[in-house]
Structure 1
Amino acid sequence: MLSTLKPVNIIIVDDSVDNLEVIKAVLERPGVNILTSDDPTEVLDLCISSEISIALIDVKMPVMSGFDLLNQLKGNPLTENIVVILMTGYSMSNDEVFHGLSNGAVDYLFKPLDMHIMTAKVNSLLTMVHYRRDIEQKNKELEYFQSDLYLAVEEAKRGKIIKENFLANMSHEIRTPLNAIVGIANLLKTSGLNPIQLKMMELMDFSSTALLGIVNDILESFQIDAGKIILKPEPTDITELFITVADAMRPLAQEKGLVLGYTIIGELPPMIKADPLRVKQILMNLINNAIKFTQEGRIDLSLSATESTVSNVELQFKVKDTGPGIPESAIHQIFQRFEQLEDKTWQKFGGTGLGLSIVKRLVELMNGKIEVDSVLCQGTTFSFTGSFELSDEAIPVDITHQKISHHILQDFHNVTVLLVEDNKINQFVAVKMLQNWNVKVDVAENGLEALYKLKLKNYDLVLMDTHMPVMNGIEATQKIRREMPAHINRIPIISFSASVIEHEKKEALDAGVNDFLEKPFQPKMLHEKISRLTGYQ
């Protein structure tokens, strides 16, 4: 881990010099700097100057109590993130214990100190500090990657081949550390954090999701340019899809104090042929845009059939907000890529200027149209109209998925997985995730090592990364399917990659993988695929 290169600074505060010496002697180890103080009045300055990460503070001290010092540390923005353990006697009342925890302490040590318990608790906090440092470092790396991404866009315009390579490389380079951040956040959220730490994890999760949204928008925009987006119409219950999207977006509106409602006007056909993923994408982009620019009021959605024939129906989706409105002279500008209105009222909301550009081009791929009706200081209405073929087919019911959805993230029994992954952090995240579900897991660093391990042991499933040294995931999958004995070559393989380039997915499927998972992924997605492919009930 990157964070282990820099020592963790710990301070011990106790008015007894003998106690300080004993505790320091027990906790001393490589990679840790220990400071001590018998004067609590000097501790705040010491914490700031020495970048303290963990503090062990005695509660009962003259001049200033441990509670007062705790409040002082938590009240200063330079020291508020220090992890504090309070030390006290067993005679402390429950109210006093509650007082310390509610003011920001994470735990107590009771005197006389049990050195084994103290060491275990400090070790746990050191692990958390290392995780936090890794996350901070990865966030910095992602900021640099994002900056490089925008600079490289202009270079990629020189040609289609350069653009394709750029998309593949940047997708992999950004999503690989992002997968680590999302994975570690998911692991930490289930590791018994206190409310303050859990809030920090939620904020980090929100930031990671926002950054992933930016990356996805940029990649999606250029894939449309390159003609890589192909619509895949299938039987779709458009009413159910519309309601599902509205329900999914409502919590986001409620977080801003907005009301989100929907109306279905008239009678709609039970089934149409549409690409449900792209219709959802259009609606969610429009709704997200409305929520973003609306400070108070409501978002109203509507769906209606404007025209119909024996074989087709024209549907109109509307998203109406009570935001600031758009000047008529600037309406053409909002659909242009990377463009934002120069008006300072709009600039304060930020964003990449890609969401509406993607919406417009997806609508055009559907041979539909997008219109805007806006009144300054009153609100804006986006209308998406498209013609869809009627369908008599029913949507197939996935029984396996229905069962899994009621038992999300249940433990597996007697399931053994071979993880083929070269990135150490992603190895750690995937192994912990699988072990949390009681999965037995072995790790191979590359495809060649995976082939060797498959000959020595029986596995129920292989998780195969795409980009690896020595032998990549595509080559390894081809050899498993074509050269391995029958009892091995039929093993289920899930290919996962930080690249979202369509031809890579096709290459993986052509090579013989059973399913494909994009990094970063949520644990539920991996759990469902393992359940389905192993036939776990």
Structure 2
Amino acid sequence: MKHLRWGQFWAEWGLIPRLMFAVGLAILTGGSIQTYMFVVEGAAEHSVRLQREMNETMAFLAPLIAEQAILGEYGAISQLLKNQVRRGEADRFEWTDNAGKKIVAQDVDDKNEAPAWLLAVAHIEHVEGDFKVEAGGVGYGTLHAKMTPVQSGNRLWGQFARQLQIVVATLLLILLLIWLIFRGNLGTLRLLAEGANRFSQGDHAVRIESEGSPEVRLAAEAFNNMADNIENLIASLEESESKNKLLATIVEQSSEAIWTKDLTGTVTSWNAGAVAMLGYSSAEAVGRKLTVGRSASDKDEESRMTQLLRSERFSYEVKATTASGGEVDIQVAVAPLIDAGNKRIGTISVAHDITARNRNEEELRLAREAAESASHAKSTFLAKMSHEIRTPMNGVLGMTELLLETELTGTQRKYAQTVQRSGKNLLGIINDILDFSKIEAGKLELEHIDMDLRSTVEDVVELLAERAQSNGVELACNISPEVINGVRGDPLRLGQILTNLVGNSIKFTECGQIVVSVTSVEEAANNLTLRFEVSDSGAGISPEALSRIFENFSQADGSTTRKYGGTGLGLAISRQLVEMMGGKLHVESTPGVGSTFWFTCRFEKQETQPQDDSLPPPGALEGMRALIFEPGAISRGIIHSQIASWGMSHQSVKTPQQALEVLAQGTALGAPYDVAVFDLGLPDTGALELARTIRADAVIAKVRLVMLTTGTRHADIREARNVGIDACLVKPLRQAALYKCLVNVMAGSYEATVSPQVADVPADAAPLRILGNLLLAEDNPVNQQVALGVLEIEGYRVTAVNNGKEALDAYAQGSFDLILMDCQMPEMDGYEAAKKIRERERQSNTRRIPIIALTANAMNHDREKCLNAGMDDYLSKPYGRLQMRDILNRWLSQRAPMQAQAEAFAGAAPATVAQVLDRNALDTLRALQTNDRPDLLERVINLYLTESPKLIQRMKQAAAANDLPEIARATHTLRSSSANLGAMGLTRLCQDLEASARLAAAEEARKQLAEVETEYGSVHIALTAELEAKAA
């Protein structure tokens, strides 16, 4: 038999034999070593024990032998030694007495049971020694003992045998346990091996049952999990392969051109779309370094190459040349091809034919340019038509205004007023069309400035009140008390929206009321949202008409245009303005009941809320009682809301008798009413008679009476004063006016109780005359005559010329305070003339003369064009006497020194007073005088002359400290008090100064302050002259 080497033999063993052999060998080796150590240590121990036992035995036998030796009992000594040999380890005892006699005892029965090798290994030697036997210091001989290791060897062999048995038994037990433990686990391992073999042969469903130890179970579970994952991966790979085949089919059949290239730029695939788009077959393209189009510039090509090197995705548009030599516009998207190792192996490109898109874009561009050209042509046409219409309109309205200044019969005046109203209506239509055009062209821009919200709304209501009242309609304004006043927005456009909505309501409301309401919807730290509402009791709008009410050139029905007139643009313009302000215009209407138009707008809050120094402090009416006698439910509700917000308690009554009873009842209960507010125009109630009755009744005569009236008829005011009414207010009520009136009435300050509405300057009021020489350049004869007529009435000396060239000649020959320059004139237009005048001023270093543009153009860029030409201001045709007066006052008042004013007034005080102060305002104050207050006018003037210098001083100090808010507050107060005395020129200057201060235009405000101070000097002189005339 061929002998196997040990390595081969060991390699053929299984795990259990290997383990059993290794463990057995280790146990045997360890047991042998342990046994050897046991034997060696045991032998040493036995040697020590024999020596110790011999010493102990000799110490035990010596006294016994000495005792028997003394007695001479040698037989007893022999028996004693024999007994000791049998019991102990000693092999031989020999006692020799002093005479030399020996007694010997020796063990002949001990047998050696231990093997020789054990004794050799143990190496236990015999022990012997002599011991003297003595008693009382007398020696009785010598005892010799020999200790042999037979018994120790036997004992050691027994211990060795037991130790060996334990080692062998342990070895057998451990081997048995190993075999039992590994038999089951190895079975599972065999199953794993068989399963792996079957799996490798394609049986992917094979799984192993998890048996055996946790480790083996984990191995089985790991195999099963691996099999699951591999099976899923194979399924996924099969699915991916199927998708790849589908994707390849899609790519091949795609209408988009798709191709790939390797890193050298060689085409590696070329789909059917690329064949169709570029004309190269797959065989012609694949394997070639084909460049599909080239960028318009080397820079673009370089950028593309850089992106390719960076493996970036990018796209570009290019004009590609086809195989047939044609051209096609394509958009190419390029992305890197990445392998499984995240390494770039090439690029994939997808091209889309954009030839049609580019053609469409070019067509759109041409259409847009055509539309812009048409829009520009339309704007040019509108500007031209505006100029052409405004030029004759200026003549119509100007001449009509001049005509109304002359002596006319009633019929003639009626006809002239009809012409004037028709002209203004036509002007309104033109303005609507221009606004609509600006919005449509996107050229209308909103302002974002500080504004007085309450004044803006109340100004609109007040402006349209007379028109509403002439139609028998009451117009009311209800601004919720919680609405703050100081906001930022576009007051002009907000007023335009409200004017359109209120004007529309007036047009379609024949009786009843129109209410303008403002409420707060939402308020944050820096902004707030307000709801504006205009409701009326008019004809209403049908549901069919509501759907198109905001369309351009649309009204409720065709008949309204014929019955009421208008362009149908007002609501469309308002809707678009509201949307520009971030809101939306809504309408709710019921035919025969009325309509409500409402919108919301968001405003920023001003950093600091403006304070009206002319108003009494808050809380002045706290706890006071008011009686309201107002027939209109809406007006009554507005008054209730306002006085309640001031802390007043109130009650309403419906009849004069009820008013008297309530007043008497309040006095009887110890809670009299402080003030009663009632309408002078109460139907069939005898309001004045009620006032007489109250004043005649001593019980209730102390109540303050405030009359509300819808007009400024001086006779009515005078009669009201005569019957004991304390103050009069004109409707629609301003909240601030009502508050100030009630506070002043309760304080007994009657001078300030006249409503500001009563003191408004009428259209024919005497102007502020500032003498000066004017140059008028106007080519249209009618407009020239209008301007000459207006300026002559205003008191100016005017030199008129027909074109810009004549204006230059006149400027060179004469000395003028101001030039009025038409913009479009023959030979040389106004723009060129203005530029040349400015150039001459620079060359001669002379003062800058104000140049005011007169033009019928009404577009924003026309104003900019005028200012760029060197003109200072802009007056749009058609203009009226008041517009001309305002602009002349603004530019010429600063050139009239106070001394010149004083000299003028000294020569002709009565005439000058009429020119500086509005006589109607002075007459109104005189009408308020009664027998018990005959000096009302004098007291008001004295109070004004005392307080106004303080305000002027405050304004100057604020200007020195650059405190614009303080300038605005002081100017507002001066403006209000000046208006009450009819100083309308000063009022307008204060208004301009206040606006500049609120807009933070510091430099402009300083200039305007000088104008205000100069004008105030004229007013001061005029009022002083009035007092002197009264004293004379």
Category of TM-score, reference length = shorter chain: 0.5 to 0.7
Question: Pick from 783, 795, 805: which aligns with 1:426?
Answer: 783
Say whether residues 1:472 and 2:829 are aligned partners: yes
1:452 paired residue number:
809
Question: Pick from 509, 516, 541: which aligns with 1:326?
Answer: 541
- Does structure 2 conserve the Cα–Cα contact (< 8 Å) formed by 1:156 and 1:163? no
Say whether residues 1:312 and 2:527 are aligned partners: yes
1:387 paired residue number:
602
Say whether residues 1:438 and 2:795 are aligned partners: yes
Structure 1 position 496, deviation (Å): 1.5
2:128 paired residue number:
none
- Does structure 2 conserve the Cα–Cα contact (< 8 Å) formed by 1:181 and 1:208? yes
| CA deviation map 1:463-516 (0-9, x unaligned) | 011111111111111111123344656100111110101111101112221111
- Whole-angstrom CA distance in 2 between matches of 1:359 and 1:194: 41
Structure 1 position 349, deviation (Å): 2.9
1:500 paired residue number:
858
Aligned in 2, Cα 1:472/1:395: closer, same or farther, shift over 3 Å? farther
Structure 1 position 348, deviation (Å): 3.4
Aligned in 2, Cα 1:209/1:346: closer, same or farther, shift over 3 Å? closer
Aligned in 2, Cα 1:170/1:196: closer, same or farther, shift over 3 Å? same
Matches within 5 A, 1:12-51: none
Structure 1 position 237, deviation (Å): 0.9
Matches within 5 A, 1:127-146: none
Q: Which moved more, 1:199-208 or 1:408-417?
A: 408-417
- Whole-angstrom CA distance in 2 between matches of 1:297 and 1:365: 32
- Does structure 2 conserve the Cα–Cα contact (< 8 Å) formed by 1:160 and 1:226? yes
Aligned in 2, Cα 1:512/1:316: closer, same or farther, shift over 3 Å? same
Say whether residues 1:166 and 2:381 are aligned partners: yes
- Whole-angstrom CA distance in 2 between matches of 1:346 and 1:463: 39
Aligned in 2, Cα 1:345/1:532: closer, same or farther, shift over 3 Å? closer
- Does structure 2 conserve the Cα–Cα contact (< 8 Å) formed by 1:495 and 1:516? yes
2:442 paired residue number:
227
> Which amino acid is 1:460 matched to?
D
| CA deviation map 1:369-419 (0-9, x unaligned) | 11111112111100021001111367899xxxxxx9799653635400000
Q: Which moved more, 1:371-380 or 1:348-357?
A: 348-357
Q: Percent identity?
A: 38
Aligned in 2, Cα 1:532/1:396: closer, same or farther, shift over 3 Å? farther
Question: Pick from 522, 527, 532: which aligns with 2:880?
Answer: 522
2:489 paired residue number:
274
- Whole-angstrom CA distance in 2 between matches of 1:203 and 1:519: 20
- Whole-angstrom CA distance in 1 between matches of 2:481 and 2:564: 36
Structure 1 position 350, deviation (Å): 3.4
- Whole-angstrom CA distance in 2 between matches of 1:344 and 1:470: 49
- Whole-angstrom CA distance in 2 between matches of 1:336 and 1:320: 20
> Which amino acid is 2:819 matched to?
V
> Which amino acid is 1:280 matched to?
G
- Whole-angstrom CA distance in 2 between matches of 1:487 and 1:428: 34
Say whether residues 1:341 and 2:556 are aligned partners: yes
Aligned in 2, Cα 1:517/1:409: closer, same or farther, shift over 3 Å? farther
Matches within 5 A, 1:51-130: none
> Which amino acid is 2:379 matched to?
E
- Whole-angstrom CA distance in 1 between matches of 2:432 and 2:601: 23
- Does structure 2 conserve the Cα–Cα contact (< 8 Å) formed by 1:496 and 1:516? yes
- Whole-angstrom CA distance in 2 between matches of 1:413 and 1:238: 34
Question: Pick from 239, 242, 263: which aligns with 2:457?
Answer: 242
Aligned in 2, Cα 1:413/1:370: closer, same or farther, shift over 3 Å? closer
- Whole-angstrom CA distance in 2 between matches of 1:206 and 1:345: 19
Name the SS of the counterpart of 2:548 in structure 1. helix
1:14 paired residue number:
none
> Which amino acid is 1:239 matched to?
R
- Does structure 2 conserve the Cα–Cα contact (< 8 Å) formed by 1:422 and 1:468? yes
Say whether residues 1:178 and 2:397 are aligned partners: no
- Does structure 1 conserve the Cα–Cα contact (< 8 Å) formed by 2:529 and 2:600? yes
Larger % of helix: which? Answer: 2
- Does structure 2 conserve the Cα–Cα contact (< 8 Å) formed by 1:337 and 1:357? yes
Q: Which moved more, 1:415-424 or 1:266-275?
A: 266-275
- Whole-angstrom CA distance in 1 between matches of 2:527 and 2:449: 14
Matches within 5 A, 1:287-302: 287-302=502-517
Structure 1 position 343, deviation (Å): 6.2
Aligned in 2, Cα 1:411/1:269: closer, same or farther, shift over 3 Å? closer
Name the SS of the counterpart of 2:478 in structure 1. strand
1:490 paired residue number:
848
Root mean square deviation, CA, Å: 2.4
- Does structure 1 conserve the Cα–Cα contact (< 8 Å) formed by 2:823 and 2:830? yes
- Whole-angstrom CA distance in 2 between matches of 1:489 and 1:510: 19
Structure 2 residues without counterparts, runs of 5 or longer: 1-369, 613-759, 897-1014, 1016-1032
Say whether residues 1:481 and 2:696 are aligned partners: no
- Whole-angstrom CA distance in 2 between matches of 1:412 and 1:486: 31
**Bigger relative CO (Cα 8 Å, ≥ 6 apart):** 1
Aligned in 2, Cα 1:193/1:342: closer, same or farther, shift over 3 Å? closer
- Does structure 1 conserve the Cα–Cα contact (< 8 Å) formed by 2:586 and 2:598? yes
Question: Pick from 528, 532, 536: which aligns with 2:890?
Answer: 532
Name the SS of the counterpart of 1:430 in structure 2. helix
| CA deviation map 1:167-217 (0-9, x unaligned) | 111000000000001100111111122222212211111111111111111
- Whole-angstrom CA distance in 2 between matches of 1:511 and 1:308: 46
Matches within 5 A, 1:362-381: 362-381=577-596
- Does structure 1 conserve the Cα–Cα contact (< 8 Å) formed by 2:386 and 2:856? yes
Say whether residues 1:410 and 2:767 are aligned partners: yes
> Which amino acid is 1:532 matched to?
R
2:419 paired residue number:
204
Larger Rg computed on CA atoms: 2
- Does structure 2 conserve the Cα–Cα contact (< 8 Å) formed by 1:480 and 1:489? no
Structure 1 residues without counterparts, runs of 5 or longer: 1-154, 398-403
> Which amino acid is 1:191 matched to?
T
- Does structure 1 conserve the Cα–Cα contact (< 8 Å) formed by 2:770 and 2:889? no
Structure 1 position 266, deviation (Å): 3.4
Q: Which moved more, 1:158-167 or 1:315-324?
A: 158-167
- Does structure 2 conserve the Cα–Cα contact (< 8 Å) formed by 1:237 and 1:270? yes
- Does structure 2 conserve the Cα–Cα contact (< 8 Å) formed by 1:481 and 1:489? no
Name the SS of the counterpart of 1:335 in structure 2. coil
Aligned in 2, Cα 1:173/1:158: closer, same or farther, shift over 3 Å? same
Aligned pair count?
377
> Which amino acid is 1:245 matched to?
V
Structure 1 position 330, deviation (Å): 2.5
**TM-score between the two structures when normalised by the length of structure 1:** 0.67
- Whole-angstrom CA distance in 2 between matches of 1:225 and 1:503: 16
> Which amino acid is 2:490 matched to?
D
| CA deviation map 1:119-175 (0-9, x unaligned) | xxxxxxxxxxxxxxxxxxxxxxxxxxxxxxxxxxxx999712211211111000000
Aligned in 2, Cα 1:156/1:457: closer, same or farther, shift over 3 Å? farther
| CA deviation map 1:314-354 (0-9, x unaligned) | 11110001112212232131111112334657763332111
2:478 paired residue number:
263
> Which amino acid is 2:414 matched to?
K
